[in-house]
């Protein structure tokens, strides 16, 4: 992200997810909340990256780019983002069977 005189403070976050569907769900869930301050701008995207542990599989990465007028505004915005992300992941864990690891058996299997 290029720095400019209005928004000299910037930060890029890369959050890995097990697959593209979960990264997309996180992006859509968080992107609906607009930044409260006009002194902060953010943008979202998803990319695919090789998983270091299993070279054959790939992870989807949620990238969030922040720009802010001051370091304090950047810190406040990023803290709020992590609060929202934690809630989204918690809901995913409760409602989705393959958030942390692939499902070991189908829903109908009791073994």
Looking at the domain 9-95, which fold is it?
TATA-Binding Protein (3.30.310)
Name the residue with tokens 């958030």.
99
Please report, for the chain, the start and end positions of each structural domain, with discontinuous segments joined by +: 9-95
Report the C-alpha gap between 8 and 41 in whole angstroms: 11
pLDDT tens, 19-36?
898 999 999 999 999 998
- CA nearest neighbour of 27 among 75, 74, 89: 89
Give the predicted TM-score (pTM) of the model: 0.75
Angle, vertex CA 79, rays to CA 3 and CA 67, nearest 5: 15
Place of tokens 């299997």: 109
Q: Is the pLDDT of residue 97 over 50?
A: yes
């Amino acid at each position: 992200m290029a720095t400019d005189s209005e928004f000299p403070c910037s930060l890029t976050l890369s959050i890995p997810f097990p697959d593209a569907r979960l990264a997309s769900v996180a992006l859509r869930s968080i992107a609906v909340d607009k930044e409260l301050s006009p002194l902060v701008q953010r943008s979202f995207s998803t990319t695919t990256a090789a998983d270091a542990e299993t070279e054959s599989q790939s992870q989807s990465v949620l990238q969030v780019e922040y720009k802010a007028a001051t370091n304090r505004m950047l810190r406040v915005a990023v803290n709020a983002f992590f609060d929202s992300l934690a809630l989204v992941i918690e809901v995913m864990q409760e409602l989705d069977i393959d958030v942390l690891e692939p499902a070991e058996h189908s829903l109908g299997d009791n073994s």
